[in-house]
Structure 1
């Protein structure tokens, strides 16, 4: 495998957070695709809280619209993720709610593309 520096960029926020008129996670996923980020996954948390939380959010089967913690995870070359973060940072800073973002180097063991559909 080529020797490139790869990282994971993770954004922790709430499922109800918005960037403009779109949900934060939707906006970031579509923008990442547009900017050529290799892959993005959004995880919905079962339970959690953040620095600006006044209560603990939890998932219950009868509360389908509950505000839940989310994590947006993207993996790509470090330089691509740094550039992408610089693009979204001003918008994240404008959000009234809190979030956590970190970039961590990773070691890719297998990077295999499938057939594009």
Structure 2
């Protein structure tokens, strides 16, 4: 089990719900690769409204604009491990935003096995 305490880096990836990687959701591929890289954890959040560099608003309120809603993938781990993962994002993310923030991990515990 990965241990995480103290200073860490938060990697946040903003993409669209319709973004794909080899016919799979891009967010799922990012999570799959983060797990394969042994990163401490990854979470995907689905947004209900947003816009990005294109300034086109995507929202669940208008049926015609409910495609390509925002998706955010958050990964937190020690800085060297997160930075080592960045080249994979260069390969995966064609459109979107990738942000790094310094954070402090206060508690990181998993469920007991079994």
Question: Same-fold call, TM > 0.5?
Answer: yes
Cα drift, residue 47 of structure 1: 0.5
How far is the alpha carbon of 1:60 from its aligned partner? 4.1
Provide the residue aligned with 1:8 in structure 2.
10
- SS at the partner of 2:9? strand
What does residue 39 of structure 1 align with? Answer: 41
Give the conservation status (yes or no) of the 8 Å contact 2:5–2:108: no
Shift of residue 91 of structure 1?
Answer: 2.9
- Which residue number corresponds to residue 19 of structure 2? 17
Instruction: Say whether residues 1:101 and 2:98 are aligned partners.
Output: yes
Tell me the equivalent position of 2:72. Answer: 71
Matched, 1:83 2:107: no
Give ranges in structure 1 of 5+ residues lacking alignment. none
Q: 1:37 to 1:61 in 2, by over 3 A?
A: farther
Asked if structure 1 preserves the Cα contact closer than 8 Å seen for 2:6 and 2:104, the reply is no
Report how many residues are paired: 111
Distance 2:24 2:68 in 1: 15
Q: TM-score, normalised by structure 1?
A: 0.81
> Relative to 1, partners in 2 of residues 1:35 and 1:3: Cα closer, same or farther, differing over 3 Å?
closer
- Report deviation, 1:2: 7.8
Match of 1:29 among 27, 31, 43: 31
Give the Cα separation in 2 of the matches to 1:2 and 1:17. 31
The answer for the alignment partner of 1:114 in structure 2 is 111
Residue 82 of structure 1, CA deviation: 0.6
